Structure 1
Amino acid sequence: MNNHRSSERGVVMSWNVFKFCAGFRFLGSIMILFVLSIVAFSYYALVVANYGPALFIGGLRSLTAFCVLLLFHSLLAMLLWSYFSVVFTDPGHVPSSWRPNIDEERSDADPLVEAAYMGSDVLSNELNASGGQDYRRVRYCRKCNQFKPPRCHHCSVCRRCILKMDHHCIWVVNCVGALNYKYFLLFLFYTFLSTALVTLSLLPYFIAFFGDEEISGSPTNLAVSFVAFVLNLAFAISILGFLIMHISFVAANTTTIEAYETKTTPKWYYDLGWRKNYEQVFGTDKRYWFIPAYSDEDLRRMPELQGLDYPVQPEVVALQQL
């Protein structure tokens, strides 16, 4: 039964679209410059061309401009903080000393001989974070020549195994994994809020562009405002869909890659309920939920934030082993 399920997962995973990201390896830091260029273009359209000069007009228009600029700069600061946290944070790699605990009653092989477990059905005998026996198949990476912890996958772009790998993102020129997934979600969140704010703020200028009334400003600034509105509207809509998808992943305690596996799994054994699932990504300290950082207390007492050990539902694991 297990072999049949594994073969089903293999068919599903063979269509994983993220393997084609390997072709984008050459882009490198060009994508970072591209992202910063989009930010700079939107900044010019909103601040320099329109709401910056409106500060000196006086009256209600100046007050509106001040509020828009204050909110925009706050969101922009959080966006850039989250973005560079994703870019420069290692998503998590497998320590060279990491080894699974082998159930010796189920296997007579030497647990220190890695080649003996390449593609085998040896079972892990680790105590998971919930205190129960965690019988799952030991996974071995033939490319890295090392064991793979639970939820770890090999990235063909980074050419190494990534802890709780979600996907390789060309926009951040990095893998999204256990140690930077929260930062990636915050980047999506603040990018959506920023692009939505720019879209709403430039909407009057976009409407006036097609109206009969006289429009103040140079033709260049009007063109920039028009393009910035369309660009930010497109990003806001697309990022909203992407953000909703990842929120559903967090609620179910799965990743983009694991979403393929759950199609053939009746119950996902990492799903502990939406609140505990959320805390595995964002931590338990509410003060840190909306910033790309963790409290020292969470890092000390939550092993799942390190990417090597995750609590499971023992009864679900036992059911799937039948």
Structure 2
Amino acid sequence: MHRSGTTMAWNVFKFCTVLRGLGSIMILLVLGVVGVTYYAVVFTNYGPALFDGGLHSFIAVVVLILFHFLLVLLLWSYFTVVLTDSGTVPPNWKPASDEERGEVDPLNESEFDGLQPDLSSQRIRYCWKCNQFKPPRCHHCSVCGRCVLKMDHHCVWVVNCVGALNYKYFLLFLFYTFLETSLVTLALFSHFLAFFSDEEIPGTTATLATTFLSFVLNLAFALSVFGFLIMHVSLVSANTTTIEVFGTDKRYWFIPAYSDEDLRRIPALQGLEFPSNPDFDSEEF
């Protein structure tokens, strides 16, 4: 039994090590998909259509403007998720109340005196690996090797944990990825159908292959991201209010940033307190 447990721990360690090593590869993969898509949309299909005149030129202008606008927001959101720390527990942090059980009475200082990590009190959450107390919804990430505030999951695509301080940016990344990939799918749909017709398709083998690949990749991402986006929107609406996640200043809702006032006033954005949505009935679960 002991040997089996050791083997399992070793396998988990190797798995976490592999996930850490995927970091730069996943970023390059994302940039590679963006590059292939950009080449197919701008250089192969809609860039040349600008000089066709008439309706074709008008459609090309609209597609290119929307494509670049969404691409900027997508990349802005993506690198903000990648570069923003998801949130760590402040040094020497101690819980002031048991929010996860709905108890708001503060813990007296005497309750911490002589406190042992193995106590049976359900009012206190403790991380054995980090040797520290854990705020509500805080979990330990084996890949990052630390506790993450309001940890949702470790995402290999963004090479980071998705937690309290970058959750909004992650949702915006999903949102703009869905819009961008849906736009590309619609824009390249007629070009994709041309592959199965008897008409002769203009272009070199490389440009045709790029168009075909871009359509397939963007369609796959649009379908997968849509399901993921719906799931996260449902989680947000069930567990926290929109204000707690996106801030009170509506001018900042659709960009990966917060106003200084929101960062100062909203406790949830600091990753330590999470009031629940009053309209959510927890008894349903």
| Stretches of structure 1 lacking an aligned partner (at least 5 in a row) | 1-17, 123-136, 254-270, 272-276
- Pick from 253, 269, 275: which aligns with 1:305? 269
Q: Residue 86 of structure 1 contacts residue 180 of structure 1 at CA under 8 Å; is this kept in 2?
A: yes
The amino acid that maps onto 1:111 is F
Is the counterpart of residue 252 in structure 1 residue 223 in structure 2? no
Cα offset, 1:140, TM superposition:
0.7
One-letter amino acid of the counterpart of residue 43, structure 1: Y
Find the residue that maps to 1:175 and give its secondary structure: strand
| C-alpha spacing 1:112/1:203, structure 2 compared with 1 (3 Å) | same
In structure 2, the partner of 1:281 is: 245
Deviations 1:261-318 (A, max 9, x none): xxxxxxxxxx6xxxxx11111111111110000111111111111111122589x9xx
| 1:64 aligned partner | 59
Any idea what the Cα deviations from partners look like across 1:175-223, whole Å, max 9, x if unmatched?
0000000000000000011101111000111111111222222222111
Contact 2:50 2:60 in 1 (8 A): yes
- Whether 2:19 is the aligned partner of 1:27: answer no
Question: How far apart are 1:108 and its partner, in Å?
Answer: 9.4
Secondary structure of the structure 1 residue equivalent to 2:120: coil
Q: Is contact 1:98-1:147 (8 Å) kept?
A: yes
CA contact (8 A) 2:96 2:106 kept: no
Corresponding position of 2:256: 292
Does 2:90 align with 1:95?
yes
Percent of aligned pairs sharing the same letter = 64
Deviations 1:81-125 (A, max 9, x none): 0000000000000010311237999889651545x1434316xxx
CA contact (8 A) 2:117 2:128 kept: no
Who is 1:111 aligned against?
Answer: 112
The answer as to whether partners of 2:86 and 2:164 remain within 8 angstroms in 1 is: yes
TM-score w.r.t. the length of structure 2 is 0.85
Checking the alignment, whether the CA contact within 8 Å between 1:79 and 1:190 is kept in structure 2 is: yes
CA change 1:113–1:45 in 2 (3 A) is farther
**Closer/same/farther in 2, CA of residues 217 and 297 from structure 1, 3 Å limit:** same
Instruction: Determine if the alignment matches structure 1 residue 206 to structure 2 residue 170.
Output: no
Does 1:236 find its partner at 2:231? no
* Alignment root-mean-square deviation, CA: 2.7
Counterpart CA distance in 2 for 1:280 and 1:108 is 29
Does residue 148 (structure 1) correspond to residue 134 (structure 2)? The answer is: yes
* Mapped partners of 1:90, 1:299: distance in 2: 15
Return the letter of the residue paired with 1:282. F
Q: Deviations over 1:22-73 (max 9, x none)?
A: 2422212111111111111111111111111111222211111111000000
Match of 1:15 in 2: none
- Runs (5+) with no aligned partner, structure 2: 1-11, 99-104
Contact persistence 2:46–2:64 (CA under 8 A):
yes
Alpha carbons of structure 1 residues 178 and 218: separation in structure 2 relative to 1, 3 Å = same
Q: 1:102 to 1:193 in 2, by over 3 A?
A: closer
Output the CA distance in 2 between the equivalents of 1:20 and 1:189. 33
User: Normalising by structure 1, what TM-score?
Assistant: 0.76
- Which residue in 1 is equivalent to 2:145? 159
Where does structure 1 differ by over 6 angstroms across 4 or more consecutive aligned residues? 18-21, 102-108
- What residue number does 1:178 align with? 164
User: What is the one-letter code of the residue matched to 2:118?
Assistant: M
Matched, 1:75 2:39: no
